[in-house]
Structure 1
């Protein structure tokens, strides 16, 4: 998609090609469509102001995600905000069978577990994970978007994945059912022991 952008694209081209991926990224980061739309507008304004000075040292896509990441970071610094990553699957179609309904419920439960755990990641890990694993940026583009070295970006991605795996193992039991479908079940919270 962004391959269609030239080294000196017009703002209209950038907005047309990158608005939707930027909005999805921002919504995953902040967990709210209206807030993501506001942050997207701010991102597009900064892109419009900065585009005449864009030197092409990176791709336009990486540069735009760098701007969006900085705007999201500023948003997270506000004391009244709490960052969330939200699964951006489109609304599912009406299922054709009971099996489809059950499969959708399993996927939704697993997505819920993942969203809750990702929400607890530090902001820099969350941004690296979303940019790399959900938005499909390379490690180098992720590093640039997060304003860190390539080595730091790789470490953040690795540590975010490790924390995600570890937390999910604490929160959930994973197994394969009789149809060999991967399933997730929440572990019951521990009951406080009665002092005697």
Structure 2
């Protein structure tokens, strides 16, 4: 791949994947500023590795594999503290027309879910975040997690099961008088 086509391929991949990669990294490390630095490291590694990219997987899968390794490298240091960002904190800005009560309900639900996701083993947490939140297929999740498709599916299933069980133990779910689904932390 010559320099011009390499730059063009990188520009296209970076433009399409920068935001999803940032969301994944931020959910993994829990800090926007750190996530932005790690996103830059991911993009740099993508650029450096583009000439050796063999195309055995999609560019998206390859990019998320790099991002996962960058996060793992970051989290390996014992002085690093991981925390999961609320699921809605990395999304687009909230529509100002939405009712405050609805935002509070979503915030409560996300707090419960975030706390439980944070307790999952790293392999389950990564599989769940990649598949259910980033929208990668089971095959792509397996590629990123460097495991078989069967193992990725098992991790996703077990993560969902652990999430469901933990939420049932830690939260009371109910519908209020307006039929809004709510949760309260158990004492």
Q: What TM-score does the superposition give when structure 1 sets the normalisation length?
A: 0.86
> Helix, strand or coil for the counterpart of 1:80?
coil
Distance 1:119 1:93, change over 3 A: same
Corresponding residue number in structure 2 for 1:93: 95
Separation in structure 1 between the aligned mates of residue 161 and residue 151 of structure 2, nearest angstrom: 15
- Partner Cα separation in structure 2 for residue 167 and residue 95 of structure 1: 33
In structure 2, what is the Cα distance between the partners aligned to 1:91 and 1:187?
A: 30
Displacement after TM superposition at 1:44 (Å): 0.7
Give, in whole Å, the separation in 2 of the partners of 1:84 and 1:29: 7
Q: CA deviation at 1:95?
A: 4.2
Aligned with 2:78: secondary structure?
coil
Matching of residue 51 in structure 1 with residue 53 in structure 2: no
In structure 1, the residue matched to 2:62 is: 63
1:9: how far off? 6.0
Corresponding residue of 1:159: 158
- Corresponding residue SS for 1:185: strand
Q: Is the 8 A contact 1:172 1:187 kept in 2?
A: yes
Instruction: State how far apart, in whole Å, the 1-side matches of 2:97 and 2:107 are.
Output: 14
User: TM-score under structure 2 normalisation?
Assistant: 0.90
For residues 81 and 123 of structure 1, what CA distance do their matches in structure 2 show? 14
Residue-pair matches, total: 178
* Deviation by residue 1:14-69 (Cα, 9 ceiling, x = unmatched): 11111111111100111111111111111111101110111111100000001101
> Contact between 1:29 and 1:85, CA under 8 Å: does it hold in 2?
yes
Q: What is the deviation of 1:81?
A: 1.7
Partner of 2:28: 29
Deviation of the 1:178 alpha carbon: 1.7
Deviation of the 1:90 alpha carbon: 3.0
- For structure 2, which runs of at least 5 residues remain unmatched after alignment? 1-6
Contact 1:84 1:118 in 2 (8 A): no
SS of 2:178 mapped into structure 1: coil
How far is 1:89 from its partner?
Answer: 2.9
| 1:131-162, Cα deviation, whole Å (9 max, x unpaired) | 00000000000000011111111111111111
Gaps of at least 5 residues in structure 1 are 1-7, 189-196
Whole-angstrom distance in 2 between the partners of 1:131 and 1:19 = 15
Larger Rg: 1
